[in-house]
Amino acid sequence: MRIIGVLVLTAASVLAVAPTLAQGDERSVAREIERKARAGEADAGYCLRASANLVRLTREQAATHLNRLLARPDRATASLVYVVADLPNGAQACAYLAFQPVGSRDGKKCRPVQTFVCIAGQDCRAKLDDAICEVKPGLWD
């Protein structure tokens, strides 16, 4: 749970039952979130428009989902596009997390991650140099 909070709060300051976009549409949303975040643009209503079709996850649900997602083979990339449903300030945020294959950091298995977030009614931001590390087999934080 901590890692999602850290990623989203740093950048900003799928569950099977949830509807998701078609894969091509999801990639399009991810590309636009990334573009806006890299440029430091204002959200300008984008997250609200895009969120209608994105999965909504609390930070706890996202952490659970990420632990399953990151348990993939070490060489596999992974990504997640979703709406953060429980930011402390009550704002809605659209997030795109892009994970690279596993590497090593301080003797731990870690996946480099780039985080792109658009906060509804505010701005879009990127964090390009983060990592999530495995604290014990199958548990990433």
Which residues pair with residue 127 across a beta bridge?
Answer: 115
- Residue 59's Cα: distance from chain center in Å? 10
pLDDT of residue 24: 57
Q: Which of 119, 115, 122, 124 is nearest to 40 (CA)?
A: 124
Residue 25 identity (one-letter amino acid): D
Distance CA(40)–CA(34), nearest Å, equals 10
Distance CA(126)–CA(138), nearest Å, equals 27
Distance CA(107)–CA(103), nearest Å, equals 10
For tokens 């298995």, name the residue: 109
Distance CA(12)–CA(43), nearest Å, equals 12
* Low-confidence winner among 4-13, 92-101, 109-118 (lowest mean pLDDT): 4-13
The helix (H) or strand (E) run that includes residue 95 is: strand 93-99
Strand 103-105 relative to strand 56-57, pairing: unpaired
Is the model's pLDDT at 119 over the cut of 70?
yes
For tokens 């906060």, name the residue: 119
pLDDT of residue 89: 85
Confidence of residue 100 (pLDDT cuts 50, 70, 90): very high
- What average pLDDT does the segment 123-132 reach? 95
- What average pLDDT does the segment 97-119 reach? 92
**124 compared with 13, residue with greater pLDDT:** 124
pLDDT (tens digit, 9 = 90+) per residue, 20-57? 444 558 899 999 999 999 999 999 999 999 988 899 99
Instruction: Calculate the average pLDDT of the chain.
Output: 82
- What average pLDDT does the segment 62-76 reach? 87
